[in-house]
Amino acid sequence: MSSLSIAAYFPFRRVCISTQSVAAQSDLAVVHVVPDRRFRPVCHRCGTAGTIQQHEVRSIRDLNFASAQMHLRCSYRKIYCRQCGQVVVEDLGFFEPYQRVTTRLARTLHELCKVMTVSDVARHYGLDWKTVKNIDKAFLEEQYGQSDYEGLRILSVDEIAVKKGHRYMTVVIDYVTGRVVWMSKDRKKKTLDAFFAGMTDEQRQRLEAIAMDMWQPYIASVQEAVAHVKIVFDLFHVVAAFNKVIDKVRISEKAKASKEHKDVFRGAKYLLLKRNVRKKKARQHLKQLLDLNEMLMKVMLLRDKLPRIWRYRHRWYAERALDDWCRLARVVGHPAVAAFADMLERHRKGILNHCDYPIHTSKLEGINNKIKVIKRDAYGYHDERYFALKVIQAFDPKCSN
Ligand SMILES: [Zn+2]
């Protein structure tokens, strides 16, 4: 190999390097490439040889070269392809016709997006974030664009708030493998209907159970599309729903509190929702609040008792625990708490189904937290489809990150 040639760094079969230059600060390198005349130009769509119509030049970004950004000044031809019946860009084998980056740079950007944010990758290469995102999205679409419904038996359906209180997305998870199977915007009945519609009859028949929130549109969708499947209301989703009740009680009790007591309510929201309050000062604050307000104290006791219903594997005991809890909840005397007890009663069957399908809270919580982290990076681009594809990729057991 010649020690003077840089050609080996550009193993592109159909072009030759004509000239090269590096800017004085060595941060910009330009390499001119021209079509190798030994090859007849071929159509990028069908690969058929065509007749040359016009010559064009385009600048295409390639992988960085030492400390320099590499730009290929690439001459190429537009040809008439008889097969396609139109003028097309010739296929030179190292860039896609409408891309401004080489195929190998595109692949590198996609790989980097697995471990870095789009903005960081864009900054590193001096590219626009939109360019990087669209390249990454195209790779993801190719790999994950079609849902893989194989081997599904037990599912978990979840809603993700992408814009608090405004926009939601529905996520379907294979509970057994932890793989995200499907994700789409909204949390309506038709959202989940679309998921089931993508399955074959056989795949639908193989489903046994679905863990979910007590959310009527999802329930209706399951009952209609896969009536044989057992709906399971798991503890994770029920605790999340009860946390909203705690918050309602906090707000109404704060409104009733005297001026001096209102201070104790300040900053109490997350204190009440946290499972383990570790810091001494925070623990004292919580104790002060619960000593002061009996209603909140009772509601917190109810929350601590809630897991008991899910502790039993035997329906008879689980049923007793549920009845006990609802009775206590009604004694508290707050409309939101009583309404919650009514709701549990109405969803009795699905709650008791956990005896047959014990869905683990920690597993669902882990998945949820991981999605939240991805949301921070990926939803910042306001592209729901991209966010969905990133989530599916992150939970792919075959993906190395
Ligand atoms: Zn063609």
pLDDT tier at 400 (50, 70, 90 boundaries)? Answer: low
Percent helix / strand / coil, the chain, rounded to 5: 50, 20, 30
| Selected residue with higher pLDDT from 97 and 60 | 60
> Per mean pLDDT, which range of 63-72, 133-142, 195-204 is the poorest?
63-72
Q: Ligand 1 center to residue 106 CA distance, Å?
A: 24
Residue labelled with tokens 């290469």: 125
Q: Ligand 1 center to residue 17 CA distance, Å?
A: 26
Of 242, 262, 230, the residue nearest 350 (C-alpha): 230
Q: Residue 378: its pLDDT value, please?
A: 80
Q: Residue 349: its pLDDT value, please?
A: 96
Q: Ligand 1 center to residue 79 CA distance, Å?
A: 9
Instruction: Report the domain count for the chain.
Output: 3
Q: Ligand 1 center to residue 278 CA distance, Å?
A: 67
In a domain, 97, yes or no: yes
Q: Residue 157: its pLDDT value, please?
A: 95
Q: Ligand 1 center to residue 96 CA distance, Å?
A: 14
Query: For the segment 159-209, what is each residue's pLDDT rounded down to a tens digit?
Result: 988 877 788 999 999 999 999 999 999 999 999 999 999 999 999 999 999
Pairing of strands 154-163, 51-65: unpaired
Shared domain check, 230 and 364? yes
Shared domain check, 118 and 264? no
> Per mean pLDDT, which range of 130-144, 157-171, 324-338 is the poorest?
157-171
Q: Residue 97: its pLDDT value, please?
A: 86
Q: Residue 2: its pLDDT value, please?
A: 44
Q: 49 - beta bridge partners?
A: 42
Shared domain check, 240 and 229? no
Q: Ligand 1 center to residue 47 CA distance, Å?
A: 6
Shared domain check, 130 and 265? no
Shared domain check, 366 and 347? no
Shared domain check, 345 and 277? yes
In a domain, 213, yes or no: yes
Query: For the segment 99-113, what is each residue's pLDDT rounded down to a tens digit?
Result: 899 999 999 999 999
Query: In Å, what is the CA distance from 265 to each residue of 59, 187, 248, 313?
Result: 62, 33, 13, 39
Q: Ligand 1 center to residue 87 CA distance, Å?
A: 9
Q: Residue 1: its pLDDT value, please?
A: 41
Show Cβ contacts of residue 35 under 8 Å, excluding neighbours closer than 6 positions: 14, 15, 16, 41, 75, 76, 77, 90, 92
Q: Ligand 1 center to residue 81 CA distance, Å?
A: 5
Q: Ligand 1 center to residue 80 CA distance, Å?
A: 8
pLDDT tier at 5 (50, 70, 90 boundaries)? Answer: confident
Q: Residue 4: its pLDDT value, please?
A: 65
- Indicate the residue among 122, 143, 164 that finishes a domain: 143
Q: Residue 75: its pLDDT value, please?
A: 96
Shared domain check, 138 and 20? yes
Q: Ligand 1 center to residue 54 CA distance, Å?
A: 16
Q: Ligand 1 center to residue 41 CA distance, Å?
A: 11
Q: Ligand 1 center to residue 43 CA distance, Å?
A: 5
The Cα–Cα gap between 112 and 226 comes to 40
Q: Ligand 1 center to residue 42 CA distance, Å?
A: 8
Q: Ligand 1 center to residue 391 CA distance, Å?
A: 36
Per-residue burial over 213-244, b = 16 or more CB atoms within 10 Å of its CB, e = otherwise = bbbebbbebbeebbeebbbbbbbbbbbbbbee
Q: Ligand 1 center to residue 85 CA distance, Å?
A: 7
Of 256, 272, 255, 329, the residue nearest 298 (C-alpha): 329
Q: Ligand 1 center to residue 46 CA distance, Å?
A: 4
Q: Ligand 1 center to residue 56 CA distance, Å?
A: 18
The Cα–Cα gap between 106 and 139 comes to 9
Q: How far apart are the first and last CA of the chain?
A: 37
Q: Ligand 1 center to residue 97 CA distance, Å?
A: 13
Q: Ligand 1 center to residue 292 CA distance, Å?
A: 79
In a domain, 1, yes or no: no
Number of H helices, E strands in the chain: 16, 10
Pairing of strands 167-174, 179-185: antiparallel
Q: How many residues does the chain have?
A: 401
Query: For the segment 229-274, what is each residue's pLDDT rounded down to a tens digit?
Result: 999 999 999 999 999 999 999 999 999 988 888 888 888 888 898 8
Q: Residue 267: its pLDDT value, please?
A: 84
Domain that includes residue 265, residue range: 235-355
Of 321, 271, 318, the residue nearest 293 (C-alpha): 271
Shared domain check, 33 and 159? no
In a domain, 400, yes or no: no
Q: Ligand 1 center to residue 31 CA distance, Å?
A: 29
Kindly report the backbone phi and psi dihedral angles of residue 177, in degrees, each rounded to the nearest multiple of 5, phi listed first: -100, -15
Q: What is the pTM of this model?
A: 0.86
In this predicted structure, the answer to whether residue 142 has a pLDDT above a threshold of 70 is: yes
Query: For the segment 295-304, what is each residue's pLDDT rounded down to a tens digit?
Result: 999 999 999 9
Q: Ligand 1 center to residue 84 CA distance, Å?
A: 4
Show Cβ contacts of residue 214 under 8 Å, excluding neighbours closer than 6 positions: 233, 237, 238, 241, 343, 347, 350
Shared domain check, 320 and 247? yes
Percent of the chain beyond pLDDT 90?
77
Show Cβ contacts of residue 250 under 8 Å, excluding neighbours closer than 6 positions: 265, 268, 269, 272, 296
Shared domain check, 72 and 181? no
**75, containing H or E segment:** strand 68-81
Q: Ligand 1 center to residue 75 CA distance, Å?
A: 20
Contacts 24+ apart (CB under 8 A), 193-197: 193/221, 193/224, 193/225, 195/147, 195/170, 196/221, 196/225, 196/226, 197/225
In a domain, 250, yes or no: yes
Average pLDDT score over the chain = 92
- Indicate the residue among 112, 143, 174 that finishes a domain: 143
In a domain, 401, yes or no: no
- Indicate the residue among 77, 109, 143 that finishes a domain: 143
In a domain, 399, yes or no: no
Q: Ligand 1 center to residue 35 CA distance, Å?
A: 18
Q: Ligand 1 center to residue 33 CA distance, Å?
A: 23
Shared domain check, 218 and 77? no
Q: Ligand 1 center to residue 232 CA distance, Å?
A: 54
CATH number, position 389: 3.30.420.10
3-class secondary-structure state, position 348: helix
Shared domain check, 179 and 129? no
Q: Ligand 1 center to residue 49 CA distance, Å?
A: 8
Q: Ligand 1 center to residue 82 CA distance, Å?
A: 7
The Cα–Cα gap between 358 and 381 comes to 37
In a domain, 305, yes or no: yes
**179, containing H or E segment:** strand 179-185
In this predicted structure, the answer to whether residue 27 has a pLDDT above a threshold of 80 is: yes
